[in-house]
Chains A and B, each alone.
Chain A
Amino acid sequence: MNGSSTFRLVLCLFVLVALVALPVFADATGQPALTSLATRILIYGIAAASLNLVLGYGGMVSFGHAAFFGIGGYVVGILYQHYAAGEPLFGFIPGSNQLLVTLPAAILVSGAFAALIGALSLRTSGVQFIMITLAFAQMLFFLFVSLKAYGGDDGLIIRRANEVPGLNMRDKQTIYYVCLTAALVFFVLLWRVVNSRFGNVLVGLRQSERRMAAIGLPVYRYQLAAFVISGMGAGLAGALMANFMRFASPDMLHWTKSGELMVMVILGGVGTLFGPLAGAAVFIILETVLAAWTEYWQLGVGAVLLFVVLYTHGGVQALALRLAGRRA
């Protein structure tokens, strides 16, 4: 047992070192696009891992997490717009271009929406829950499409990425390292949560809600808490994405985005800590490679997804373990 955890620790450190060195490597080999790719992977990794908390660990199939991702992005965009225009939001909330203000704001606002949506959706279960989370996310999509003041259908351009004292946020590399730091903090916190008493209860709920109620757990409360935490994580990712792309659009809330997040989770392995990050990497790399090859790349993604769902149980990680097992 100890051998495998030291192996995992070494692997983590190795990946971390590689991620830190990546921009340098990318510049040196003349592939600066690699840094952008890695930034997107980190951001989606955070979003997918947040979804995985309720989905993989908690067993709640939420098909509306893109909503929280998009809300995070729009908080950044809206705060920036009000900062640039000098007018406070709703008359009293000042705009901001400071990352250390917008990130917590994005997290709080997406958490609030998650509380609202979760409170209603978690009164149901199964197929209903899936449909309801999808429907609410779509509702928010339509809301942002209709807000002409914030770009509407065309999206909201953010002229400059949020500032961090002492850093040059116009540099792509800096943004990469900011995202890497955020991802690091996020995954450390997630690791603690997943192994905590709360995480224990959550995984128990996935296995049997009936059993958990029978030992005295008020189920709804804990599912809602998980849903809110998960929404906050997705909001964090959305805020980072808005800074990276300098753009927020309703597409961030579209149901296909929710689908993509779920695909990343399953590709990487449901209910594992780093699976979603691996899944995000696989998905984005696959998307990039296929898109360069054909304009009908979604067909390829669909075929791969279908294969993974029907024929592998547990995604990439399980597949890798099985292959390793066969060789050993």
Chain B
Amino acid sequence: MTLFLEQMLNGLQLGVMLFLMAAGLTLIFGIMGIINLAHGSIYMVGAYAGTLVIGQTGSFLLGIAGALGAAAVTGVVMEMVVIRRLYRRDHLDQVLATFAIILILNQLVTILFGRQPLFVPMPPLLAGSVELLPGLVYPVYRLSIIVVGLLVAAGLYVLINRTRIGMLVRAGSTNRDMVRALGVDIRMLYTVVFGLGALLAGLAGLMAGPILAVQVGMGEQILITTFVVVVIGGVGSIRGAFFASLIIGVVDTMLRAYLPGLLRQIMVGSEADALGAGISSMGIYLLMALVLLVRPKGLFAADS
């Protein structure tokens, strides 16, 4: 039972990380109409920058600042140099231009840091485990990721639903052209949305450091999963992103934890493990296919 709860918490933790990525991405899709493949690269930049700062200063807090700062700078430069030119272009151009950014950033990071994955030390304050329930011991760090993620979700909820900017964001994601026609400074709105997405991605990148590998290509791995979240949740919907990321985090974790074991009952050990790992990897995509059959626009589509 405790193993089950532990896996549920792991799923929650993964879900919350996915939410940080998906929230930014879905807003950018919904408000700006831009598909930005390089969103994962900002995640990677955050991870690398944060790791560098921690390595230099020994402070995790400074690392966070470094990650957020680097993510923000990368986001701003990306927006000014490339993204800005893509607003009126068709999706193909957006895909290819941001794909080009991935290639460029991946190589730059490789040149600066090499191909070996970086090691990120766990912040001493958050290292260790805590007993949540009798018999259920869980790492503090992962718990703190969950807490941070939920706080961000709450903060986004307040921002979107209770502020003027949030109102513009909500309006823009249901009808972009109307918002523009109403004379809103769309430039500022775009910059805010893009910047917010970049900050969230950078934060996610750094938090992932101690538990996942910080390496070139980490961005693309999480990006595709994030796409699945956005599709299932509904493009433009933060609420959809929230629920979908939690669902996917839990489903993915559960499959990986229990499927190989289940398969071992009917197949040879190593083949069961490989097949189990394979089907687990496919799980969330099959879930996406299922959702698409029933709700082509996603569970919480923000329709226009």
Which A residues are closer than 8 A to B by beta carbons?
Answer: 55, 61, 63, 120-121, 123-124, 126-128, 130-132, 134-136, 138-139, 142-143, 145-149, 152, 255-256, 259, 262-263, 266, 270, 296, 298-299, 301-303, 305-306, 309-310
Report the minimum CB–CB distance from B137 to chain A (whole Å): 32
B116 / chain A contacts, CB cutoff of 8 Å: none
Q: Which of B248-304 contact A (CB under 8 A)?
A: 270-271, 274-275, 277-279, 281-282, 285-286, 288-289, 292-293, 296-298
Residue of A nearest to B290 (CB): A120
If A124-B292, A145-B278 are given as contacts, then 18 extra A-B residue pairs at C-beta distance below 8 Å, sorted by A number, are A120-B292, A123-B292, A126-B91, A127-B33, A127-B35, A128-B231, A135-B231, A135-B285, A136-B289, A142-B281, A143-B278, A146-B278, A147-B278, A148-B271, A266-B96, A302-B107, A305-B97, A309-B93
Residue count of chain B within 8 Å CB distance of chain A: 47
Tell whether B228 is near chain A: CB-to-CB under 8 Å. yes
Interface contact A302-B104, CB-CB below 8 Å: yes
A128 / chain B contacts, CB cutoff of 8 Å: 231, 235, 297-298
Interface contact A301-B278, CB-CB below 8 Å: no
The 6 closest A-B pairs by CB, nearest first: A146-B278, A302-B103, A139-B285, A142-B281, A299-B107, A306-B100
From B101, B108, B220, B274, contact of A306 by CB (8 A): B101
Interface string of B49-92 (1 = CB under 8 A from A): 00000000000000000000000000000000010010000011
In the complex where A132-B288, A139-B286, A142-B281 touch, is A305 in contact with B102 (Cβ < 8 A)? no
B29 / chain A contacts, CB cutoff of 8 Å: 127
Interface contact B95-A61, CB-CB below 8 Å: yes
Q: What are 12 A-B interface contacts by the 8 Å CB criterion?
A: A120-B292, A130-B35, A131-B227, A135-B288, A148-B271, A296-B110, A299-B107, A302-B102, A303-B100, A303-B104, A305-B97, A310-B97
Report the minimum CB–CB distance from B282 to chain A (whole Å): 5
B91 / chain A contacts, CB cutoff of 8 Å: 61, 126-127, 130
Report the minimum CB–CB distance from B54 to chain A (whole Å): 26
B106 / chain A contacts, CB cutoff of 8 Å: 298
Interface contact B103-A299, CB-CB below 8 Å: yes
Interface contact B224-A134, CB-CB below 8 Å: yes
Interface contact B288-A301, CB-CB below 8 Å: no
Residue of A nearest to B110 (CB): A296
Which B residues are closer than 8 A to A by beta carbons?
Answer: 29, 33, 35, 82, 85, 91-93, 95-97, 99-104, 106-108, 110-111, 220, 224, 227-228, 230-231, 235, 270-271, 274-275, 277-279, 281-282, 285-286, 288-289, 292-293, 296-298
From A61, A296, A299, A306, contact of B97 by CB (8 A): A306
Chain B interface main SS type: helix
Interface contact A262-B107, CB-CB below 8 Å: no
Interface contact A262-B235, CB-CB below 8 Å: no
Report the minimum CB–CB distance from B184 to chain A (whole Å): 22
Chain A interface main SS type: helix
B296 / chain A contacts, CB cutoff of 8 Å: 123-124
Q: How far is the CA of A87 from the CA of B82 in the complex (A)?
A: 54
Q: How far is the CA of A142 from the CA of B276 in the complex (A)?
A: 11
Q: How far is the CA of A124 from the CA of B301 in the complex (A)?
A: 12
Residue of B nearest to A270 (CB): B92
Q: How far is the CA of A132 from the CA of B235 in the complex (A)?
A: 12
**Of A63, A262, A301, most B-chain CB atoms within 10 Å:** A63
Residue of B nearest to A260 (CB): B99
